[in-house]
Structure 1
Amino acid sequence: MGSKEPKPKKTRGQAGQGTVYWDEAKGCFRGEISLGYTPSGKRRRPKVYGRTKTEVREKLRELVKEAKSGVKPSATYTVTDAVTDWLKRGLKGCSKATLDKCRNLANKHVIPELGRAKLKDLTADDVDDWLDSKAGELATRTLRELHAVLRRAIQFAQRRDKVLRNVAELVDTPQGKEGRPSKALTLSQARDVLKAAEGTRLFAYVVLSLMVGVRTEEARALRWEHVHLSPLAGVPPHVEVWRSVREHGDTKTKKSRRTLAVPEPVVEALRAHHAAQEDDRKVAGGAWQDNRLVFATVVGTELDAANVRRAFRAIVKESGIGGSWTPRELRHSFVSLMSEKGVPLEAIARLVGHSSTATTEIVYRKELRPVITEGAEVMGDLFK
């Protein structure tokens, strides 16, 4: 008869590391560790299983960490659970735009691709691989926002003792694909766009954005009490850009609050727009919501940014200038046209509400043609 194979012996680690031995009934290694006593006085000695001693010892170490931290991760709590809970209860006080953006990123990218993973089993490598897989299709800014959604969702779960650590904090956001650079209309293109916009509901919006340089978020928040279309005591027609659609109605920065004179074409467009809005009010009757918004829907409510973009794309298509354009590029066009006419950088910075000329140069460097070419012109003359 052949001799029997010796059974693996129990192996004891150092104090506090538990005991590992072969479990004949289950056909795998088993580990046990003493973690003190329950409030009722019963000894806490949980058991873990694994195919190797190393695997079992790692599980025992995790139990010790959990015991020391006081956190008891749920074995069934998934990434979907964490993200859903955060979206439901972790964004209190945020604007609707922020809520919508976070939901869209979560529902489109996080939940479909990481949602089934148990949160306690999610690793930094998992997050790294996931972000790397998105880098080819998303711009860097979107990647950062996506990474932030996962990181903040896990933070929310941590604060509720659902998981011991936040693996999303151990990962750097990769570089995404190049975003489409902003561009500016030439004078000829601007005229074509204005002509195509005539007769549309967005005409006054386009005229104001192009000829005054307000941000789209400022235009959508503009109220009639901040619009003064008749000269008064030597003060020309002007608009008070004091609000935006940002949370709490604040403008982007303190210096973004500014009062701007408006040229005659803007005055005419706004007067016609006001008359058209009065017609909307009569047609809407009791459904009209008097928010005093300059740019509103047919019932007086705030314009949706996506609807403005869609309407502007239709105007651009009608103009025949070609290419893809967004409403915010009307502001870029304002800076470009002002710069081409030799308006000093300091004046442009004040008009667009920047805190310094450095901001204007960084954001609109492509539009500041005289500033960009000045150095080359001087050196060309010197070394001609």
Structure 2
Amino acid sequence: MAKKRAPRGTGTVYERPDRGDWTGQIAIDGHRRTVYGKDKTAARAAISALLKSDGQTDQKTTGLTVTKVIDEWFERDLAGRDRAPQTVELHRWAADRIKVSIGKRKAATLTVRHVDDMLDQLTADGLSRSSMLKLRGTLSQALQFAVKRGDLPRNVAKDATIPPSATRTAERTSLSPTEARTLLGVLRGERNGLMLALSLRLGLRPGEAAGLFWDDVGDDAVNVTRGVRMVKNRATLSDDLKTAAAKRTIALQPDLAVWFDDHRKAQRVERMAATSWVDDRLVFTSPTGNVLSPPNVRKQLAEVCRRAEVPVIKPNELRHSCASLLSDEGVPNELIADLLGHTTTRMVDETYRHRLRPVVSIPSTWATSG
């Protein structure tokens, strides 16, 4: 029996199993309107409400400005989500930029062109493509929250485009297996070389490696529980990591366990010779036992790369190299995501897909094979 069609002019509704709700769409005055509901009945009711108001939103919400929409999203939605402080700070940075550009505009009258014009202007001001993506993402999440609440009929940020002229972020460098082994050999004799090796071998973020305490290190595993982040230009320890999956336990290969023992002995010698030592909990420190400064770590790695005669890379590119090398060996994306502390495989899928081969086995061989 043929499925009964809805009368012409009443719009269409369809289920979105991936999101657990229903979408309703209808054209009013030549403009397609989209609404959402928890079920088919709710979506139909939302369409009916649009028809009764000639496509306008509820009178109580037509006065909402973009700034108000963003503020309510921060207070009612984002505040209740498990987001790392760094992620929240990025959203606040983006929100501030958006408010300056279009914050006073009524959200109900916001169009795709308005958002495009904002992105064009910010690109002309020198912001990069990655910054544009963050700005559009923040605005889109705020508007989508308003749509779900029935305050807006449509999320116009979804259809906005990033200007082609926006500067693209330079592609990250990934070391080859030979380059990685060469760099590891030089790091073995370097002060705090183990910290950089942990990013290359185990995929630790630079801040995660720098934030390790001796209590986090066992005979056969290391616990990642905190990190080092810059706060007002000062390196500071923080228990808040980047993602929900960032706190993890990673098995240590035997050679890394030996390296930890050697590093502990070397640090004891340093502490005995020093007139004062700031923090004896830290595995990796400055010569006075203080938290390592990320800029100094970058300088150290650059110098080591030059001496090893391999491409000069940044600390986070050691982690990128780790994931690329594991992908190249056929390690499943799910295991790489777990190792790196990602909540999903999306980053691995998008960043390392060009290196994937048919799945073989999990053991890594590049670090030891010739």
Shift, 1:206, TM fit = 0.9
SS at match of 2:222: strand
Q: Distance in 2 between matches of 1:142 and 1:257?
A: 32
Counterpart for residue 150 of structure 1: 139
- Whether the aligned pair in 1 keeps the contact of 2:205 and 2:316 (CA below 8 Å) is yes
Could you tell me the TM-score, scaled by structure 1's length?
0.51
Q: Per-residue displacement from partner, 1:122-168 (whole Å, max 9, x unpaired)?
A: 43320133346667977766544312322445578899x9x953764
Shift, 1:223, TM fit = 3.0
**Equivalent position to 1:239, from 211, 218, 221:** 221
**Equivalent position to 1:275, from 268, 273, 289:** 268
SS at match of 2:137: helix
Q: Quick one: structure 1 residues 240 and 166, their matched pair in 2 at CA, closer, same or farther if it must change by over 3 Å?
A: farther
The answer to which of 120-129 and 354-363 deviates more is: 354-363
SS at match of 2:252: strand
Within 5 Å, give how 1:1-384 maps onto structure 2.
68-71=58-61, 73=63, 79=66, 91-92=78-79, 94-107=83-96, 109-115=97-103, 117=105, 122-131=110-119, 142-153=131-142, 164-165=151-152, 168-169=155-156, 171-174=158-161, 179-187=169-177, 189-190=179-180, 193-194=183-184, 202-216=192-206, 218-228=208-218, 237-243=219-225, 245=227, 253=245, 257-263=249-255, 266-267=259-260, 270-271=263-264, 274-275=267-268, 278=271, 283-284=276-277, 288=279, 292-295=281-284, 308-309=297-298, 312-313=301-302, 315-316=304-305, 321-322=310-311, 325-334=313-322, 345=331, 349=335, 353=339, 363-367=351-355
- Whether the aligned pair in 2 keeps the contact of 1:80 and 1:116 (CA below 8 Å) is yes
Q: Identity percentage over the alignment?
A: 25
RMSD, aligned CA: 5.5
Q: Distance in 2 between matches of 1:351 and 1:168?
A: 31
Q: Per-residue displacement from partner, 1:311-346 (whole Å, max 9, x unpaired)?
A: 5456546655345x2323323434566688xx6636
Counterpart for residue 53 of structure 1: none
- Whether the aligned pair in 2 keeps the contact of 1:339 and 1:369 (CA below 8 Å) is yes
SS at match of 1:184: coil
> Aligned partner of 1:283: which letter?
S
Q: Distance in 1 between matches of 2:247 and 2:314?
A: 24
Q: Quick one: structure 1 residues 106 and 65, their matched pair in 2 at CA, closer, same or farther if it must change by over 3 Å?
A: closer
Q: Distance in 2 between matches of 1:332 and 1:196?
A: 19
SS at match of 2:212: coil
Q: Distance in 1 between matches of 2:339 and 2:201?
A: 14
Q: Distance in 2 between matches of 1:99 and 1:358?
A: 20
Q: Per-residue displacement from partner, 1:160-185 (whole Å, max 9, x unpaired)?
A: x9x95376445325367655444322
SS at match of 2:79: coil
- Whether the aligned pair in 2 keeps the contact of 1:312 and 1:326 (CA below 8 Å) is yes
Q: Distance in 1 between matches of 2:359 and 2:290?
A: 41
Structure 1: give runs of 5+ residues left out of the alignment. Answer: 1-60, 229-236, 373-384
Q: Distance in 2 between matches of 1:148 and 1:255?
A: 26
Q: Quick one: structure 1 residues 263 and 334, their matched pair in 2 at CA, closer, same or farther if it must change by over 3 Å?
A: farther
Q: Distance in 2 between matches of 1:263 and 1:131?
A: 50
Q: Per-residue displacement from partner, 1:240-286 (whole Å, max 9, x unpaired)?
A: 3453559865976499643222415633553256437846996255x
Q: Greater relative contact order (Cα 8 A, min sep 6): structure 1 or 2?
A: 2
- Whether the aligned pair in 1 keeps the contact of 2:206 and 2:315 (CA below 8 Å) is yes
Counterpart for residue 20 of structure 2: none
> Aligned partner of 1:327: which letter?
P
- Whether the aligned pair in 1 keeps the contact of 2:241 and 2:247 (CA below 8 Å) is no
Shift, 1:101, TM fit = 1.6
Counterpart for residue 375 of structure 1: none
Q: Distance in 1 between matches of 2:146 and 2:272?
A: 52
Shift, 1:82, TM fit = 6.0
- Whether the aligned pair in 2 keeps the contact of 1:218 and 1:251 (CA below 8 Å) is no
